[in-house]
């Protein structure tokens, strides 16, 4: 399954290369929501909240009220997660709150699990150079992606694995890295990071893996059934 991504930064829909370089910005949120209406679910990430530089809560809630979505970015408390679910999110994505000091925070994962149940929880495992990176991909840990998913599997329904090395580059996803993560858990894997072609999405689907795609859709490089181009204005 293809899951389109809507990333927010400073009140705009954006696409970044490896979390740093702004490549695309748009103020036509409704245009993207219209284009993504045919997809079963979209992914919404509040980049400012993830990086601790602010938030785009109003925009996130706007999407939650209009599309089935999984939401991430700066979700550090059960209360915040519950508020997003109450706003209409189908699932919430937990990231940096599950890791600190090169340790997987099992007690934090259990806290979310006890309050919300596994079905509504996705753990984000963002990998750069083979190790988990947190705080908006700014802080490297010594934890491998496989170690992370093994430790967190009892508490979540699925994992969002992002191959940061290729994220936003449209150079193609490192499928072997994704399979290495898949082999470490029985939970569902959702993969992201450099996907360019629908053939990659189809290949992942055959492996039982969902694909999050951003840059290739926003640039029109990926020709989805919804059409090759998106909204016409910034």
Neighbouring-strand partners of residue 164: none
* pLDDT band, very low/low/confident/very high, at 230 (cuts 50, 70, 90): very low
* pLDDT band, very low/low/confident/very high, at 222 (cuts 50, 70, 90): very high
Read off the pTM.
0.92
Q: Give 50-82 pLDDT, tens digit per residue.
A: 988 999 999 999 999 999 999 999 999 999 999
Domain assignment present for 230: no
CA pair distance 171, 173, nearest whole angstrom: 7
Helix locations, the chain, DSSP H: 29-35, 47-51, 57-64, 78-86, 106-116, 145-152, 175-182, 198-206, 215-218
Residue 229 has pLDDT above 70, yes or no: no
Domain assignment present for 156: yes
Domain assignment present for 154: yes
Q: Give 134-191 pLDDT, tens digit per residue.
A: 988 888 999 999 999 999 999 999 999 999 999 989 999 999 999 999 999 999 999 9
2 sits in which H/E element: strand 2-9
- Tell me which long-range contacts 205-208 makes (C-beta under 8 A, separation of at least 24): 205/1, 207/179, 207/182, 208/182
Domain assignment present for 203: yes
Domain assignment present for 101: yes
Q: Which two tokens stand for residue 69?
A: 């979505």
Q: Which of 7, 46, 48, 210 is catalytic?
A: 7
pLDDT reported for residue 232: 35
114 in active site: no
* pLDDT band, very low/low/confident/very high, at 223 (cuts 50, 70, 90): confident
Domain assignment present for 116: yes
What CATH number did the domain enclosing 61 receive? 3.20.20.70
Range of the domain at 67: 2-218
7 in active site: yes
Domain assignment present for 186: yes
Domains held by the chain: number? 1
- Three-state DSSP at 47 gives helix
Q: Which of 107, 126, 165, 202 is catalytic?
A: 126
């Amino acid at each position: 399954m293809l899951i389109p991504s809507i990333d927010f930064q400073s009140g705009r829909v954006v696409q970044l290369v490896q979390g740093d370089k702004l490549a695309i910005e748009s103020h036509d949120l409704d245009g993207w929501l219209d284009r993504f209406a045919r997809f079963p679910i979209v992914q919404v990430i509040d980049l400012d909240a993830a990086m601790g530089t602010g938030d785009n809560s109003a925009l996130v809630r706007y999407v939650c009220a209009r599309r089935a979505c999984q939401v991430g970015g700066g979700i550090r408390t059960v209360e915040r997660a519950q508020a997003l679910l109450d706003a209409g999110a189908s699932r919430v994505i937990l990231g940096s709150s599950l890791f600190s000091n090169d340790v997987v925070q099992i007690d934090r994962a259990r806290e979310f699990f006890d309050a919300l149940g596994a079905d509504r929880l996705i753990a984000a495992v963002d990998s750069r150079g083979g190790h988990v990176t947190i705080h908006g991909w700014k802080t490297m840990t010594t934890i491998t992606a496989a170690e992370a998913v093994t430790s967190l599997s009892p508490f979540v329904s699925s994992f969002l694995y992002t191959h940061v090395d290729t994220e936003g580059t449209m150079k193609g996803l490192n499928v072997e890295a994704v399979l290495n993560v898949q082999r470490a858990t029985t939970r569902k894997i959702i993969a992201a990071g450099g996907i360019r072609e629908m053939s990659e999405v189809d290949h992942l689907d055959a492996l039982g893996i969902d694909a999050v795609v951003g840059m290739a859709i926003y640039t029109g490089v990926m020709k989805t059934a919804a059409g090759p181009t998106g909204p016409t204005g910034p």
